[in-house]
Amino acid sequence: MTASTNSATRSSERNVTSAGHRTARRAIEILLAHDERYHLPTAAERKALLVGFAMAGKTLYGAAYDLIRRDMPIDLTDSTSIATSIDAITICEIKSTNQSSIGPDLKGYMFNITAAEHLTAQSVGPRYRFLFVSTLTGEHCEMSLNEIFSRARGMYPAWHIRF
């Protein structure tokens, strides 16, 4: 690959990534406006969540979720409070789309699950949910890892490697 081709490829990847980040940010805004139990954790809260989940014997990868949902007030800066309230916290990974062809049944929707998301979903169990959000309609649905696997029409494992 030539330097100019390589540069053009990186520029194209950034544009796609930027569009994807805009869609993801919009999905977060939709969920936060929809239900006050959703919360976008700060960096300090993410650290405390990591420790609190570890105290409860669960592995939580920091990049494996976008939001949390609390069923009751919890001090998210206190790891001990998190560990003792773990059953009131749902870890949420958002998968968003801005395509009008995707309906509420998600038919035709293709998305990636990272290794960190998969491992965290397995460790956290039913308190880990994938939230599928249409940024065009605001519709969203929630599924566990097992529900996704039971509905999947195909799976195409891949390793994405960047140099």
CA distance 102 to 108: 7
- Residue from 58, 16, 6, 65 nearest 39 by CA: 65
**pLDDT at residue 3 greater than cutoff 70:** no
d(CA 94, CA 141): 10
Nearest Cα to Cα of residue 133 among 61, 49, 71, 66? 66
User: What is the overall mean pLDDT for the chain?
Assistant: 83
pLDDT one-digit tens code per residue, 15-70: 444 556 788 898 999 999 999 999 999 999 999 999 999 999 999 987 899 999 99
DSSP H helices in the chain = 3-34, 43-55, 79-84, 115-124, 145-151
Q: Which of the pair, 132 or 74, is modelled with greater confidence?
A: 74
Q: Where are the domains of the chain?
A: 3-151
What's the confidence (pLDDT) of residue 15? Answer: 44
Neighbours of 127 (CB within 10 A): 20
Q: What is residue 20's predicted lDDT score, i.e. its pLDDT?
A: 60
